[in-house]
Amino acid sequence: MHNGGTGGHQALIALAPEHRTAVVILSANARSTTRTGMGLLAQLSRH
The predicted-structure confidence for 11-41, as pLDDT tens digits, reads as follows: 999 999 999 999 999 999 999 999 999 999 9
Exposed / middle / buried, residue 45 (Cβ in 10 Å: 0-12, 13-18, 19+)? middle
- Return the pLDDT at 45: 92
- Return the pLDDT at 1: 87
CA pseudo-torsion sign 39, 41, 43, 45: negative
Domain count across the chain? 1
Domain span at residue 41? Answer: 2-45
Residue 10 predicted with pLDDT over 90: yes
Residue 47 predicted with pLDDT over 80: no
- Return the pLDDT at 37: 96
